[in-house]
Structure 1
């Protein structure tokens, strides 16, 4: 596989991990604030949770989840039916692998086009998150980049020199 694409996928996954870590930290802080509220309520006090927590988590998860797909593809971490295919001749295994990679590229490109259309509609409609009032369309951008990188990784694997199974 092309080294540049592999490095991009690895870096993108690390960035996705940073986003996931931020989600965990914000969730932990929000849970701690709810626990503090319960304790404060015993003495008539009140502690508020993080305003817009749900908005942030929903938007961040939508980006982070897709950011891991290119690295998963680069590591061939997708589901494979080795039990069924392992008894086939090596040439047929390579052919099936290439066919599956081509279908993966097609799927990633299809999802990329559909997500781009969704982002355009969301931007045109001026959709804002309910609590924080953030525009939602920019949160499509990491997903679009992820889908493009996923397609590039699978395409790189499809055109690479075959490896015997």
Structure 2
């Protein structure tokens, strides 16, 4: 189970990284063109906006896989390992449900904005395209969190024996 989670999270993060790299190149070219007195890349700020949304959505599964979210364990470090494992399990279920809810509402938002036909001003990029990576990211993060929640009890039992 860990293999598919890791692959999925890394593939989506790599796509997010490629988007960031591509837009960084685009902005660099645009700035150099402006410095040289030429017209910059048309709609470069629209591409930056769109890429930020894409990258944020595509990095979510890797963050969930690595449990990279902010954790405040100031009040739980003194608890027994099993108690902390139960608390972690509850949080994993909470994350999984929250990611699933976000995915559900993002799909509905995508459908509404697509039906509305809204586009960016300069490049006429359909705005609903920005929702696609968020649907992928929140959906994958939800699946990963559910998988982690199913694995955590086994990890807790095996860790106590050591």
TM-score w.r.t. structure 1 length?
A: 0.88
Cα distance in 1, alignment partners of residues 79 and 100 from structure 2: 30
Structure 1 equivalent of residue 34 of structure 2: 34
2:50 to 38, 56, 59: 59
Q: Give unpaired runs (5+ residues) of structure 2.
A: none
Cα distance in 1, alignment partners of residues 30 and 2 from structure 2: 42
**Deviation of 1:7 (Å):** 0.9
**Deviation of 1:138 (Å):** 2.4
> Structure 1 stretch 77-86 or stretch 56-65: which is displaced more?
77-86
CA deviations over 1:17-66 (Å, ceiling 9, x no partner): 111101111111122122222xxxxxxxxx11111112211112111111
CA deviations over 1:138-165 (Å, ceiling 9, x no partner): 2311110111000011111100023449
Residues paired across the two proteins, number:
156
Cα distance in 1, alignment partners of residues 74 and 30 from structure 2: 45
Match runs of 1:39-54 below 5 Å: 47-54=38-45
2:94 to 91, 103, 124: 103
**Deviation of 1:117 (Å):** 1.2
Which aligned segments of 4 or more residues in structure 1 are displaced greater than 6 angstroms?
A: none
Q: Give unpaired runs (5+ residues) of structure 1.
A: 38-46
